[in-house]
Amino acid sequence: MSTTSSASTGTLESSDPLATIAEQHTGPRTAPAPIPLSRVVRVELRKMFDTRSGFWLMAGIAILAIGATAAVIVFAPDSALTYDTFATAIGVPMAVILPIVAILAVTSEWSQRTGLTTFTLVPDRGRVIAVKAGLAIAIGVVSMLLAAAIGALGNVVGTAIAGTDPVWDISAANLGMIMVANVLGLLVGFMLGTLLRSSAAAIVAYFVYSFVLPGATSALAAAQEWYRDLGPWIDFNYATTPLFDGVPSAEQWAQLATSGTIWLLVPLAIGLRLILRAEVK
């Protein structure tokens, strides 16, 4: 028989070694320590560079900045060799690439099917998404500072080649407002990523928002007088335009806040709720 009766205790003693081990480890189990935030940041930062698309997007920022600077030096007339010209040439590709970086930071968990692993290791999805948003903004700011430095170098080199004096026609305040405008564009991309959770759909939606919608709203403003006055309060694209021209007025800040709530904050809140509740497969 596998068990014997103990007269002294009146209990059954098992000869099964697994049962004996289980009886010896009857103490309370301790929960594993949560993954540190610093490790989550390192992993998410590495994930933004590890894929081929992520790597070439990051590399493309520097490549396009250098290419735009070289194009200004080669093709622009001497009178146009100013820092504003270099900043504008670099800013156009930056305004397109940075939102795509933010989109891929979110949608990669679904498009590459890593979400199940990520959200199993870190069950707090809000923590992961917050890290992704912070890293996207940080990368955007660093990229813009790098682009500003490349533009400044191009201004010095270009005017030296042309034999003219460098013209620094962008103040620090103007440069700061341009960075704010680009960060807002980046957050629009991040919002679309959370809302759609598909890289292709979010990128297409961003191009529609950035290049198709402004033309439609401009046509509506030209045809309808009522929209001409209302447009700046509900058109986020239009409301961000003053940021590229200098420090906005109080009314322009109010228009930016109102339209930003409609186009950025409310959809972002909906997208975050969907991410927190969506089934990950």
Phi/psi at 13 (5° precision): -100, 125
**Residue at 258 is within a domain:** yes
Domain range spanning residue 197? 35-277
Higher pLDDT, 262 or 12: 262
**Residue at 12 is within a domain:** no
Tokens standing for 184? 């807002």
Position 60 scores a pLDDT of 84
Taking the model in full, what pTM does it have? Answer: 0.82
**Residue at 58 is within a domain:** yes
Q: Mean pLDDT over residues 240-255, rounded?
A: 90
**Residue at 188 is within a domain:** yes
**Residue at 25 is within a domain:** no
**Residue at 167 is within a domain:** yes
Within a 10 A sphere around the Cβ of 73, how many other Cβ atoms? 18
**Residue at 233 is within a domain:** yes
The pLDDT > 90 percentage for the chain reads 30
Position 278 scores a pLDDT of 76
pLDDT at 132 over 60: yes
Greatest C-alpha distance within the chain: 108
Domain tally, the chain = 1
